[in-house]
Structure 1
Amino acid sequence: MRRRGDAAHGGKLAPRCGRVNRRPSRCADHRPASNCRRGAAIGAVRLRGDRAGSPTGCYDARVLCPPLGRVAAATAWPLAFACAAAWLGAAPPGRALGPTSQVDLRGVSVGDAPEPRPTARQRLAWEVRKRTSVQTRLEPTATRFDDPSIFATPFLYWSGDRAFRPLRPAELSGLRRFIELGGFLLIDDAGSDAFDASIRRALARAFPSRPLRPLPSDHVIYHSFYLIDRPVGRVLGPDHMEAITRAGRVAVLYTRQDLGGAWARDNLGTWTYSVVPGGSGQREMAIRLGVNIVMYALCLDYKDDQVHAPFIMRRLGARP
């Protein structure tokens, strides 16, 4: 087994990441593997710091090198983010099995602008876990574009209901790097023309050659898990979403339907905001759209390939 150094102290990562199917004789911190929890094996990288109940520096291999999916694109983000996080020393030390191995629907903010729907991400995480096989972190965290922790997750959620200050150079750099490494940013307008104007200015500065464009109604996001006709949230809003694409994938998705307003619940389980005009049916469709967006962010267009499978099989069957 190739021994790896401390990524935070100049050590090198192996050139490839792969699925961990067996446990080596020794853990990444050079102690017998019997002392390490299952999962901290080949592909684990020793990171700084300890946590009670976990081996020193053992980071879940499934976080840094998760199992390969049906198609390579389905796991493009973990490989890129793993390397970025390890090289930058951004990934926190974690248990071999625990919150660090779960998908964090991390929120992002700019300046002192508050998140208008603070419980929305928590509720979406719960819905994704309940409805799919994705293990989400039920208490999502928050970050900033100039914080290296953004590279520890493939998904960022940015919501607002007011204008915000221009992004600083470090924030613009972090946002660009996040997208370049395969990250997905969901921007949700909670119902403010001022926020909309600020967002458009910020994205124009960050991606001057990649303007927002309407997302086609037949895009895979609308059928990545559920079949959805049009985007809806707390309000109907426009009949389309907008996106910035990079290398054939949606990298930034912008909605003006206030999705978070439809997801949000209080501590007693009561829906925080009324959904108009469609009520509970519209809320359910907003939740389904949220699930679809998360599944697309994690799996890209694997479902698009599945949609074409019957046609491909018919073509194969028609060959002499």
Structure 2
Amino acid sequence: MRRRTFLGAALGGAAALALPRRARAFGDTARLVIGQIQHGGRWNPRPTGLRRLCWELVQRTSIEAGEDAAPVRLGQPGLHRTPMLYLSGDGALPPFPEPELAALRRHLQQGGFLLVDAADGSDGAGFDASVRRELARLLPASPLTRVAREHVLYKSFYLLDHQGGRVLAKPWLEAQVLNGRLAVVYSQNDLAGAWARGAFGDWEYECTPGGEPQRETAFRLGVNLAMYALCTDYKDDAVHLPFILRRRS
């Protein structure tokens, strides 16, 4: 299945994202719903993070997003309805059963996108060690590699040249590539920790060492990731440069 066909089926048919009116981006009723993968560990350590990202997507872009992420179980029907998946954890991640990995592998091969976010900011232990093990099982022919600074991911909506998150465990993203596109993107910086906001409007976690600018970068990166998940490299074309520059601040 071609990626465009996959996204069209998942979102009810996609119109051009460059349209100035937000409500017409994907049709009147279709919404992007991020699927949050459930697993045997602490799979939802930042319950308000994706909710806030969805709100920011609606405010900042032409994407009509759901109000919150939807919990999903790999291997169960309906995975194709969530073209953007999110996997997080705080601490070690138990191994996925092979049928669940096979279902996720098919989803990615058919055009799906997976964002992996280490809530514990770990490096070489905890979530980091176990998720690297699982990603190696998931796509053994596509090892994690650093995303180049010049990649279209960093200009899919905002022009970015640095990372954000609750912490800065690594100044880069890593990815697994399928057919020339980023199918899996991995951040060790706890993006959702920077996005998380309480019911009374207070940020749940401080961002260190960069403070509020680091939080804003995390939101901009989240927007870019969602835009890339939906349209991959369409903004790699120079015709979109004026639109991108107008969004830069």
TM class by shorter chain equals 0.7 to 0.9
Q: What residue is the counterpart of 1:6 in the other structure?
A: none
Partner in structure 1 of residue 157 of structure 2: 225
Percent identical: 47
Partner of 1:66: 14
Q: Which runs of 5+ in 1 are unaligned?
A: 1-15, 18-42, 44-60, 71-77, 79-95, 311-320
- Structure-2 separation of matches of 1:116 and 1:238: 20
User: Of 81, 93, 99, which residue of structure 2 is paired with 1:152?
Assistant: 81
Partner residue of 2:108? Answer: 179
Distance across 2 between alignment mates of 1:216 and 1:154: 23
Q: TM-score scaled by structure 2?
A: 0.84
Count residues with an aligned counterpart. Answer: 227
SS in 2 for 1:123: helix
Which amino acid is the alignment partner of residue 182 of structure 1? G
Match of 1:295 in 2: 227
* 1:262 corresponding residue in structure 2: 194
Work out which of the two has the higher radius of gyration on C-alpha atoms and give 1 or 2: 1
Structure 1's 141 and 189: CA in aligned 2 closer, same or farther, altered over 3 A?
same
- Report the alpha carbon displacement of residue 62 of structure 1 after superposing the two structures with TM: 8.7
SS at match of 1:285: helix
Q: Does 1:140 align with 2:69?
A: yes
1:117 is the counterpart of 2:46? yes
Alignment-derived partner of residue 306 in structure 1 = 238
Conservation of the 8 A alpha-carbon contact between 2:36 and 2:85: yes
TM-score normalised by the chain length of structure 1: 0.66
Higher relative contact order (CA 8 A, sep 6+): 2
Question: Are the structure 2 counterparts of residues 63 and 236 from structure 1 closer, same or farther at C-alpha, using a change threshold of 3 Å?
Answer: closer
Structure 2 residue 214 is the aligned partner of structure 1 residue 282: yes
* CA root-mean-square deviation: 2.4
Q: State the secondary structure of the residue aligned to 1:148.
A: coil
Q: How far does the alpha carbon of each residue in 1:35-80 deviate from its partner, in whole angstroms, 9 at most, with x for none?
A: xxxxxxxx9xxxxxxxxxxxxxxxxx8933333668xxxxxxx9xx
Displacement of 1:97:
6.0
User: 1:62 & 1:97 partners in 2: Cα distance?
Assistant: 14
Aligned position for 1:234 = 166
Query: Following TM superposition, by how much is the alpha carbon of 1:168 offset from its aligned partner in structure 2, in angstroms?
Result: 0.3
Corresponding residue number in structure 1 for 2:145: 213
Aligned to 1:22: none
Kindly indicate whether residue 60 of structure 2 is the aligned counterpart of residue 131 of structure 1.
Answer: yes
Unaligned residue ranges in structure 2 (runs of 5+): 19-25, 243-249
1:142 to 1:308, Cα distance in 2 relative to 1, 3 A: closer
Q: Does 1:163 align with 2:92?
A: yes
